[in-house]
Structure 1
Amino acid sequence: MVVVASLAIAGLSACRSAPTVAAYVGDAQIPESRVQDIWDDARAAFDADAEAKLAEARKAVDDAKAQLATGQATELDVKTAEDALAQVPTRMPIERADVVSVLVSRKLYDQLAQRHSVSLPAELAYDRAGAAVGLPASTEYVRLYTQNAVLQYLVSQSLTGAAALSDADLKDVFQRAEKRNAIRPGTTFESFRSGLNAQFTEDLKNGVALRNELTSVAGPLHITINPRYQPMEIVTYSYPLQNAPALDLVGAPLGDQRSGLPVTDLS
């Protein structure tokens, strides 16, 4: 029976490695063309938005310099305008892997929403989410990202009685934090575990509970992610940091993180 099961899994993997497919989720496919469409939409909107912001910032610099010449502005005013121009984002804030992630995540959150009888509200804060992501709210990526975030919150709120954190859970958190240099050098796992406060522990428990829910629906779907987008995971708890990206401490891996499927890179 073990041999038969192994052969079946091997056959499944071989059938789920088309280079034109970004991901397989159960019987569904997420084609590269779908990923490209969302990416192109985001790219066009971002470029247009960035060009408008650059034009406005350049005009502010020119105006400040003109006013400086007539004594209506100071060198500080010019520098402030130049600093604002330099801070206009010109690099896409997402990658194609992010597009694949929101598409796969949506399929899983739809299942969890049905399981826990939750649904999206009629109005969502797309503008606020777009500002956080760095893309116009009109893009399909921002809409998917926002919907996933709201579904994640609603499902998380429906979970009760989160189990105590295991040593394996805490070691994973410790290693993630250590990798980001967010832990004081020389700190041992034992001292890290004993120093956790109640609120942080509760947040971690909720993140782990949601991760376990996602894993429970993902398992039967035999999710396969094109290796060009690996490793990939759905983050279920992040710790905010000052002046730095949030620290992702709990997440549900998507697909086989060690996948060696021969999927051709389409770039």
Structure 2
Amino acid sequence: MRARRVIAAASVAALGVLSLAACGKSAPDVAAYVGDTTYSLERVDEIYSDVQAKFGDAVRQEASQASATPSPEQLRSAVTRQDVVNLLVSLELGKRVAAAKNLQVPDEVTPQQLEQNLRVPASTEYAKLWGEWIDLLQVLNQQLPPADLSDDSMMAVYQALAKTGAIQGGMSVADVRRAFGDGGFVRAATALSTALEEEATKADVSINPRYRAIGVPSVVSTGQSLVFYSLPYINEAGPVTDISTPEPLRSSDAPDAEGTPQDDEGTAS
């Protein structure tokens, strides 16, 4: 698949919030349970550290060619541990939805096609997981019937995009409707969110509360580039809330203005 086909086909988002009932899964070293699949904090750290190390190496190499010295901030990828958990959980749920519908998912999108816009080296596992995720999203978008275009669903997508700076903030519902046209990608987003929420309930999903809200990794095309963002569908009231020995909260874990941990290493509670 050529890069422009990725851009044309990957206009994906998701929305909605899912509160899950407690199920007793609460190991403090587990980031998330999805059915019989477990994602440990160590696994999350490995993927996150891989991104940071390879991103830093790439920045240093580019800077050396220009005889420049990058700052510590420039050496740090914008990818967070929350992003990693979002991707792992959503990918597992999406695979379950596809399997239940007997859908075949082709291996078409490569990390190299996403590297520039994702701003993550293609050699990272994170970029490879994103390629797998977009392959899956394209199949699900073709098979799931589009949902109704409500003001709530449209504004949820708009607000998530506005947070990335990809679209002007403070727009009215009427303005957003004009900007989004027929809202096809929002309809697809709503259908996808509903399918994942239903599957999350079936799979007895449990999320460690340090990852306050699980969001669907989402991407939309501006016509010239891809914008990556996420929308929550499993909130912090999820079932992994009975961890008995919380870790002390560090200053770097304080919530930002949106109530999201700034470096995704918040405490379990």
Flag whether TM exceeds 0.5 (same fold). Answer: yes
User: CA offsets per residue over residues 101-133 of structure 1, 9 Å max, x none?
Assistant: 111112112112223443343453211212222
Structure 1: gaps of 5 or more residues: 1-8, 62-81
Q: State the shift of 1:23 in Å.
A: 0.7
Q: Cα gap change, 1:253/1:241 in structure 2, threshold over 3 Å: closer, same or farther?
A: farther
CA distance in 2, matches of 1:261, 1:168: 29
Q: State the shift of 1:235 in Å.
A: 4.5
1:38-77 superposed matches below 5 A: 38-58=47-67
Q: Are residue 23 (structure 1) and residue 2 (structure 2) matched?
A: no
Of 186, 195, 198, 1:204 maps to 186
CA distance in 2, matches of 1:174, 1:39: 27
Of 100, 109, 113, 1:115 maps to 100
Matching residue's letter, 1:137: A
Secondary structure, counterpart of 1:261 in structure 2: coil
**Aligned position for 2:216:** 234
Aligned residues: 223
Q: Percent identity?
A: 26
**Aligned position for 1:253:** 233
In angstroms, what is the RMSD of aligned CA positions?
3.5
Q: Cα gap change, 1:97/1:241 in structure 2, threshold over 3 Å: closer, same or farther?
A: farther
CA distance in 1, matches of 2:105, 2:232: 22
More helix by share: 1
Q: Cα gap change, 1:213/1:236 in structure 2, threshold over 3 Å: closer, same or farther?
A: farther
Q: State the shift of 1:167 in Å.
A: 4.9
CA distance in 1, matches of 2:75, 2:37: 35
Structure 2: gaps of 5 or more residues: 1-20, 249-264
**Aligned position for 2:127:** 142
CA distance in 2, matches of 1:247, 1:131: 12
Counterpart contact for 1:207–1:237, Cα < 8 Å: no
- TM-score, L = length of structure 1: 0.68
Secondary structure, counterpart of 1:229 in structure 2: coil
Matching residue's letter, 2:98: A
Q: Cα gap change, 1:92/1:176 in structure 2, threshold over 3 Å: closer, same or farther?
A: closer
Considering only CA atoms, is the larger Rg found in Structure 1 or Structure 2? 1
Matching residue's letter, 2:121: P
**Aligned position for 1:157:** 142
Q: Cα gap change, 1:158/1:182 in structure 2, threshold over 3 Å: closer, same or farther?
A: same
Counterpart contact for 2:213–2:232, Cα < 8 Å: no
Q: Which has the higher contact order (CA 8 A, sep 6+)?
A: 2
Matching residue's letter, 1:228: R
CA distance in 1, matches of 2:169, 2:120: 32
Q: Cα gap change, 1:176/1:47 in structure 2, threshold over 3 Å: closer, same or farther?
A: closer
Q: Cα gap change, 1:258/1:31 in structure 2, threshold over 3 Å: closer, same or farther?
A: same
Counterpart contact for 1:45–1:139, Cα < 8 Å: yes
Counterpart contact for 1:129–1:146, Cα < 8 Å: yes
Q: Cα gap change, 1:262/1:54 in structure 2, threshold over 3 Å: closer, same or farther?
A: farther
- TM-score, L = length of structure 2: 0.67
Q: State the shift of 1:170 in Å.
A: 4.2
Q: State the shift of 1:174 in Å.
A: 6.3
